[in-house]
Amino acid sequence: MDSLIHSYVPILGQGDGGNPAPGGVPPVFTYEPQNAVVERGGSKFLLCSADGDPVPDIRWLNKGNVLFESLPGTGYSYLAINDFQATDSYTCQAYNPYGQITRSVTVTLDEGGAGTM
């Protein structure tokens, strides 16, 4: 089963009547994080970037909890996972006043010791 999940959710902005001001563009991924296999105690960097107008902010989530938020307006972020111990899922969320997109990936523990770093 493919554990990659894409979603798009419109976000109401600060324009008239709760709608975004005209002329903006919702986020679109320019690089999406990928599933990975990591050895116990290993490290992995997950990269995520998106474009839009205005440039979207990026946040990383795990089980609904925010792990990290990018500097505003950068459009990219990475999540460093160190001393990896158990299979888990991580979500990159890109958002601006015109929309929100997410990409969820699974980082799998390689019990056999043949992981990719």
Mean pLDDT, to the nearest integer, of 13-40? 82
Q: Taking the domain 5-110, which CATH number applies?
A: 2.60.40.10
Q: pTM for the full model?
A: 0.78
**What distance in Å separates the CA atoms of residue 49 and residue 58, rounded to the nearest whole number?**
8
What is the pLDDT at residue 23?
86
List, in order, residues 6 or more apart from 73 with CB less than 8 Å away. 54, 55, 57
Reported as a pLDDT band with limits 50, 70 and 90, residue 18 is: low
What is the pLDDT at residue 31?
97
Q: What are the pLDDT digits (tens) for 44-80? A: 999 999 999 999 999 999 999 999 999 998 999 999 9
Question: What's the angle, vertex CA 16, arms to CA 11 and CA 19, rounded to 5?
Answer: 20
**What distance in Å separates the CA atoms of residue 61 and residue 47, rounded to the nearest whole number?**
13
Dihedral, CA of residue 67, residue 34, residue 76 and residue 81, to nearest 10:
40
